[in-house]
Amino acid sequence: MNINLLDRDNNVSILLAGILSIIISIGIARFAFTSLLPSMLVDHLTVTTAGVLASFNFAGYLSGAIFSMFIKDINTKVKYFRLGALLSIVTTFVLATTQNEYLWLASRVVAGFGTAMLFLIGSSLVMLKLNLENKTKAMGIHFSGIGFAIVVSELISQYVLKHGTWSDAWMALALFALLSSTYVLYILSFDKKLEQNTVKHKISSSIFSGYVILLILAYFTEGVGFVVQGTFLPDIINSLDGLEGYGNLGWLVVGLAGIPSSIVWMRMADKYGSVNMIIVAMLLQIVGILIPAFTNNMQLNLLSGALYGSTFIGLVALFMNRAGQLAKNNPVVLMGAMTSAYGIGQVSAPLYSVALIEAFGDYSTTLYVTASIVFLGVVLLFFAKRYEI
């Protein structure tokens, strides 16, 4: 079977471009910060500054998520998708070329906005472009890009760190993003004939039923659950007695565990129901969050990374795909609303994390609080099942 990877309407091309867009947005504009954090903590940053930078990044992401809710037509989606690629690349170059913390704060906000444009709208474009009747499994492949994003950014970062500085690593990541974006922007666009027949979809408040609101609130708690390990996991592992230097291995495990996770979770959702699988994934995530608070066993802490990677990525896929199913013709509206709630959790979590780390001198209390908030999300989902559509 011949597959033309330059064919904009080929499903393989669409999925490849979607995965590359996730590597640029989630892997480089977002998670490379986590990968390079241990090196930057040694040479440039404090944990408090890192937490504030993470919060600023998520604030930018939140603003992008809210903004994306009001983008109604395909032409405009494509324009802001392209803007997201530009912002993700430029802000990575900023981290590579300066150590001015004010510029870093500004760049992290802008990078967050760019990530939302590239990831959220990009996922919407992939869903719209795929030539399939049942897109659930294909979207599982698309969201596996989050795992690839962590692995690719981690491998590039650690390879460069062997030969250079964290600034050099940011430069290599920026160049990779620049090259990859040329393919992404070519494939995830629409030809002129389709653009001339653009359909605009109105935003309707009727979509926000009690069931959907409970899903949105649960996704808020998952936003909190995602952030603490998503920002600090390498440093959490490095801070445990006897595990100094294993943090980046733990982070690589996160990405490797994440690659197949969305595909597995989406298939299970197809069989057992989305909300049921979301509940199972969040319960497993709670176990992963709590492991570093109870033990410094290396294998168990690597398991913590595996549980985190296999659940947070799967949960993004499960929630986003459910939003797409419920919203039908305009998936970006509900995806934007849900990601906004997720984003509020993301913005708040680094701030309370930093306060608790400073107050207690370790990560344990932060992990307890985070696990409790995620458990609240599980409770909300049990209520949601009563109203499931």
Give CA–CA dist 200/190, Å, rounded.
15
Name the residue with tokens 């002129």: 192
Walking along the chain (389 residues) 10 residues at a time, the average pLDDT comes out as 80 94 95 91 86 91 84 86 96 93 94 93 90 79 89 94 94 97 92 52 65 92 91 90 91 93 86 90 96 93 94 86 73 74 88 89 92 96 80
Specify whether the CB–CB gap between 325 and 338 falls below 8 A.
Answer: no
**The residue count for the chain:** 389
Specify whether the CB–CB gap between 367 and 241 falls below 8 A.
Answer: no
Task: Write down the pLDDT at residue 32.
Answer: 94
Written as six digits, the tokens of 216 are 């949105």
Helix or strand holding residue 127 (H, E): helix 122-129
Task: Write down the pLDDT at residue 193.
Answer: 47
In terms of C-beta density within 10 A (0-12 exposed, 13-18 middle, 19 or more buried), how is residue 46 classed? exposed
Which residues make Cβ contacts (< 8 Å) with residue 28, sequence separation at least 6? 88, 92, 149, 153, 173, 174, 176, 177
Give CA–CA dist 329/333, Å, rounded.
10
Task: Write down the pLDDT at residue 181.
Answer: 96
Give domain limits for the chain: 11-387
CATH number of 11-387: 1.20.1250.20
Task: Write down the pLDDT at residue 24.
Answer: 97
- CA torsion sign for 20, 63, 325, 219 is positive
